[in-house]
Structure 1
Amino acid sequence: MARLIPQLSSSNPPPTHAELAAIIANDSCDVLVAKDGDSIVGSLTLVVFPIPTGIRAWIEDVVVDEAARGKGVGEALNTFALQRARERGAKTVDLTSRPSREAANRLYQRLGFVARDTNVYRYTL
């Protein structure tokens, strides 16, 4: 997985073994991986959490290895994540995707995601 993260974000280092273990141990997180033989060719993190208006989910850090793109890996990861979110009782699943990720945005729309009329804000701590 360490080689996938730089393909997603050049500004963040890959997680250490301890950091990844902590994410996997967190009951709110499902770290999904796609494999081709012994190689991990894609990953996605599904976060499911309760809030006063119901159970919600976010899909985060979706990345498919450059060599595996266009082969259905991203679709399989997202489809499984949506099924898992449904099983865990989520009412909605949200995600964000940069406009420059054109293929990913087409995939999300094909899967039924709808762009929301909202602003996404971030506060860096």
Structure 2
Amino acid sequence: MSVTRITDVSEPLVAAFANLVPQLSSSATPPTRDEIADFLAQDGVYLFTYSNDDGAILGMLTLATFVIPTGKRAWIEDVVVDEAARGHGAGAALVEAACEYAHEIGAKTIDLTSRPSREAANRLYRRCGFVARETNVYRYGG
């Protein structure tokens, strides 16, 4: 089992997006190969994958970083582990790798959001050291 920061598109990566994105969001369409390439080419955006010993990608996580006047910040987004692989440490391995990398590149804080109904995910984030904040989250637009 291994976590890798991905920099290039491959056929196994395209297949993993096709498998994992529907498990993450019922309303999202998996990106095309070109869209994945554009995603990976962004400055400050990093994709981490979790693979089994056979090299099959069973999970992924996006780390987005940006600099604001108070320092470099990071957000973890779109964490998903294949249903068949859940409960075996893939999520924790992804989160820990992303946090380690964020600190290596100078992020002062790492934030994420998770719906309360995602009980297993919320337990995972607390186990990884995240603390719920007293805040409101607002969204503009659809």
TM range (shorter): over 0.9
Shift of 1:110: 1.0
Mapping for residues 1-125 of structure 1, pairs under 5 Å: 1-36=17-52, 37-124=54-141
Identity of aligned residues (%): 62
**Once the two structures are superposed, what CA deviation does each residue of 1:5-58 show, in whole Å capped at 9, x if it has no partner?**
110100111111111111111121110001112321000000111011110000
Number of positions where the alignment pairs a residue of Structure 1 with one of Structure 2: 125
| Shift >6 Å, 4+ stretches | none
Q: 2:3: which partner in 1?
A: none
CA root-mean-square deviation: 0.9
**Partner SS state of residue 19, structure 2:** coil
Aligned equivalents of 1:18, 1:59: Cα separation in 2: 23
**Once the two structures are superposed, what CA deviation does each residue of 1:67-118 show, in whole Å capped at 9, x if it has no partner?**
0000000000000000000011000000011111111100101111011111
Q: 2:7: which partner in 1?
A: none
**Partner SS state of residue 4, structure 1:** helix
Structure 1 residues without counterparts, runs of 5 or longer:
none
Amino acid at match of 1:22: D
Structure 2 residues without counterparts, runs of 5 or longer:
1-16
TM-score, L = length of structure 1: 0.96
**Partner SS state of residue 101, structure 2:** helix
Aligned equivalents of 2:108, 2:55: Cα separation in 1: 35
Aligned equivalents of 1:122, 1:3: Cα separation in 2: 27
**Partner SS state of residue 70, structure 1:** coil
